[in-house]
Structure 1
Amino acid sequence: MDASPALSDSLSDSLTDPAIRVQGVSKSYGKKEVLHGIDLDVRRGEIFGLLGPSGSGKTTLVRLMTGIDRAATGEVRLLGERLPKLSLFRQIGYMAQSDALYLELTGKENLEFFASLFGMSGSVRRKRIEEVMELVDLTPHLDKPAVAYSGGMRRRLSLAVALIHRPAVLLLDEPTVGIDPVLRQSIWQELYALRRTGTTIVITTHVMDEADKCDRLGMIRDGSLIAVGSPAELLERANAATIEEAFLHYGGVRP
């Protein structure tokens, strides 16, 4: 039996709707407003970069996208559902700036714990732990307590945790800070592979050369979204040679 027109339209809309929609969002901490009227759509299956200096509001915006924080005004929708919503928990992979690890546990035990939260067990869990630890180049350190990891190793373990359950939406806050260039390249290759499978990825960065790797960028300055587009579009509109020059242009900074 053919689907009714109304049902067909509904299914079509669910596939074409953005993975994340931010509408009229503002956020304050005390008397300080850190986000001002943000409107943004992140498309399904793209790598979207949030580019801006420290303190610009990137982390706050990502936390709203996870449902961890609530907006003061406006709304955030993820996969068509308004946040916060507990049932969306398993659809999200989140890597915060500060490592959310149990330092007394080994790398393997950390991954086992977080995998269990997502209902993973048995051979599926074991295989996935092997895969993500190989990706972040921590396989030799599986049985070492996380407290003995260096700062860079903890960042890599945090990334493995975010990837463990193959989330539909992956939110990464400064994921490559403290990671060497060779491993950074490997991580980006994995992000491209995830995108090819339909994963939507949002990544915050203040590193200009990483911004070039994203499909589209949102430039943030002082809590406001000052420009959105592909790196090529942003360069063309700003008549700029580099992303850094474009950022300065959209921020109203003149040489």
Structure 2
Amino acid sequence: MGVLFFTWVVLQLFPVILTSLVYEKQQKLRIMMKMHGLGDGPYWLITYGYFLALSAIYMLCFVMFGSSLGLKFFSSNDYTIQFLFYFIYLNLQISMAFLLSSFLSDVKTAAVIAYLGVFATGLLGSYLFEKFLESSVSRGWIICMELYPGFALYRGLYEFGQSSSFGGSMQWQNLSDSDSGMKEKTTCITNLSIQRQGSKASAQMEKADVIQEREKVQQLLLEPTINHAIVCDDLKKFYPGRDGNPGKFAVKEMFLAVSFISMMIGLTEPSSGAAYVQGQDIRTHMKAIYTNMGVCPQHDLLWESLTGREHLLFYGRLKNLQGSALTKAVEESLKVLNLFYGGVADKQAGKYSGGMKRRLSVAISLIGDPKVVYMDEPSTGLDPASRNCLWNAIRLAKQDRAIILTTHSMEEAEALCDRLGIFVDGRLQCVGNPKELKGRYGGTYVFTMTTSSDHEKDVENMVQRLTPNANKIYHLSGTQKFELPKEDVKIANIFQAVEVAKRNFTVFAWGLSDTTLEDVFIKVAREARAFDTLS
């Protein structure tokens, strides 16, 4: 019963290691660390060393506690032999956890499997493997069973127990004695698995601004320099077909947000094309690029047990900040994102609200003063107050760096972007600052009027009198929307027409607005898809 109990005690480390590895995988924290400059080699070396040190301390306490109680299992056997055995097994246990973490992606599943393995190993060792050791089962079968790490551990603890029984002991000088039962050495196989996060044409007439942008890129490619933060040319990602389905381009010409960012931060290999960040090719110089890059992913990738301050300290160190410079940068980031006061900075991230987590993710992307920052829908799910706080921080941050921001919110694009491009089905359709795009693709007022269904025709006639070039864009239950070309109408004439209409029939509501970026996007998307349909 003693060997069974000690086996279970030692194996309790295995679920801790496995669930920790799977947690970082499930929460995509490994990807987050890689995007901020922590390479695969240092990550696995640090992780392995951390768990080895933790395990060594655990086993040291285990042996010391057993010895302090006067248990012969510990005191009778040579301590150097015990520590050597435990050290070899701990390396094997950590390696097995690394291997299994490659096949698991859910922490709860990993925990269940690990604890089932712990208890099953002890019970099978006690009621099956030990019987084989004491019977006449061939040596080959014993060695085969010991290839499983749990049985190798049980065999070692069993020999310690046998040696300490009846006043005996295990010493170096009698290990080779055939009477001691230790002539057959336990065989251990170390399985080390380095886990890596895997990643799973139609011709169209280009508009003048897109052609101009392409020509500018072609000129820059002749001599890439750090004067332009990011230069992309014909960057594409093609996913081969599966199960009879045809292959598909996720990125054509330039990008579809997720695939583009994945390629630019080195998580996905481009199928073709070229991209340079600060003059460095993403295919060959990603390690150098990581040191000067920040990323705010679409979903918050945070350790729930770490505080906001600890997150920033960790990522600040990855950006080579140290000492007072690190402390100052962390405090400034916390203050700018409104996470400093009221004890928020020292609260665990798992207790943060959604808005606080989002602001922390933005703070992480900006720590260390990176020259290129990617933000994927940074204000998703925020309330208006939190969103304005976040926007102010981004406006302040963009003064001395390039920020690539993807968003479905035209309001956010207009508030934050100096230049923006509109993409439809992965193709760049237009590029320019918000005012240019509204002037180029807008050029109209949007007139809205709501009446009873009986007077819808009267509203149409009124609009036609204002301008025969009006275009109806919406009609539902008495509410109609029209685009009125700015060169055809004056705002004063519209107000006069509405006043006349009010005297002739009941007007429930009406409104006049200038072209918004949302109107521009809808128009550009409609034109692009209409062209694809014709093609």
TM bracket (short chain)? 0.7 to 0.9
Question: 1 or 2, which has the higher strand percentage?
Answer: 1
Q: Give the alignment of 1:106-125 within 5 angstroms.
A: 106-125=307-326
User: Deviation of residue 195 (structure 1)?
Assistant: 2.9
TM-score, length-scaled by structure 2: 0.40
Are residue 145 (structure 1) and residue 348 (structure 2) matched? Answer: yes
1:143–1:157 Cα change, 3 Å: same
Instruction: Give yes or no for contact 2:354–2:382 (8 Å, CA) kept in 1.
Output: no
Please, which runs of 5 or more residues in structure 2 have no aligned partner?
A: 1-222, 241-246, 444-514, 530-535
Instruction: Give yes or no for contact 2:359–2:390 (8 Å, CA) kept in 1.
Output: no
Between the aligned partners of 2:393 and 2:238, the Cα distance in structure 1 is 35
Are residue 203 (structure 1) and residue 395 (structure 2) matched? Answer: no
Between the aligned partners of 1:184 and 1:165, the Cα distance in structure 2 is 23
Which is higher, the Rg of structure 1 or of structure 2?
A: 2
User: Deviation of residue 187 (structure 1)?
Assistant: 2.8
1:134 to 317, 335, 338: 335
User: Deviation of residue 13 (structure 1)?
Assistant: 7.2
Question: 1 or 2, which has the higher helix percentage?
Answer: 2
Give CA-to-partner distance per residue, 1:6-28, whole Å, 9 cap, x none.
xxxxxx97364x21111111113
1:116–1:98 Cα change, 3 Å: same
User: Deviation of residue 152 (structure 1)?
Assistant: 1.9
Instruction: Give yes or no for contact 1:95–1:158 (8 Å, CA) kept in 2.
Output: yes
Please, which runs of 5 or more residues in structure 1 have no aligned partner?
A: 1-11, 40-56
1:37 to 250, 253, 264: 253
Between the aligned partners of 2:312 and 2:327, the Cα distance in structure 1 is 10
Question: What is residue 288 of structure 2 aligned with on the other side?
Answer: 87
One-letter amino acid of the structure 1 residue matched with residue 237 of structure 2: K
User: Deviation of residue 101 (structure 1)?
Assistant: 1.4
Between the aligned partners of 2:406 and 2:224, the Cα distance in structure 1 is 28
One-letter amino acid of the structure 2 residue matched with residue 209 of structure 1: E
Give CA-to-partner distance per residue, 1:43-96, whole Å, 9 cap, x none.
xxxxxxxxxxxxxx2122122222332211101111111104211112111100
Between the aligned partners of 1:205 and 1:38, the Cα distance in structure 2 is 16
Are residue 73 (structure 1) and residue 275 (structure 2) matched? Answer: no
Between the aligned partners of 2:271 and 2:337, the Cα distance in structure 1 is 37
Question: What is residue 222 of structure 1 aligned with on the other side?
Answer: 425
2:525 to 244, 251, 254: 251
Instruction: Give yes or no for contact 1:58–1:220 (8 Å, CA) kept in 2.
Output: no
User: Deviation of residue 223 (structure 1)?
Assistant: 1.4
Give CA-to-partner distance per residue, 1:155-187, whole Å, 9 cap, x none.
111111111111111111111112232332233
Are residue 14 (structure 1) and residue 206 (structure 2) matched? Answer: no
Give CA-to-partner distance per residue, 1:205-234, whole Å, 9 cap, x none.
111111212111111122111111111111
Instruction: Give yes or no for contact 1:111–1:161 (8 Å, CA) kept in 2.
Output: yes
Are residue 212 (structure 1) and residue 423 (structure 2) matched? Answer: no
Between the aligned partners of 1:97 and 1:252, the Cα distance in structure 2 is 27
SS at match of 2:338: coil
Between the aligned partners of 1:206 and 1:122, the Cα distance in structure 2 is 40
Identity %: 34
Between the aligned partners of 1:131 and 1:60, the Cα distance in structure 2 is 32
Question: Could you tell which deviates more after superposition, 199-208 or 29-38?
Answer: 29-38
TM-score, length-scaled by structure 1: 0.81
Instruction: Give yes or no for contact 2:441–2:523 (8 Å, CA) kept in 1.
Output: yes
1:234–1:115 Cα change, 3 Å: same
SS at match of 2:346: coil
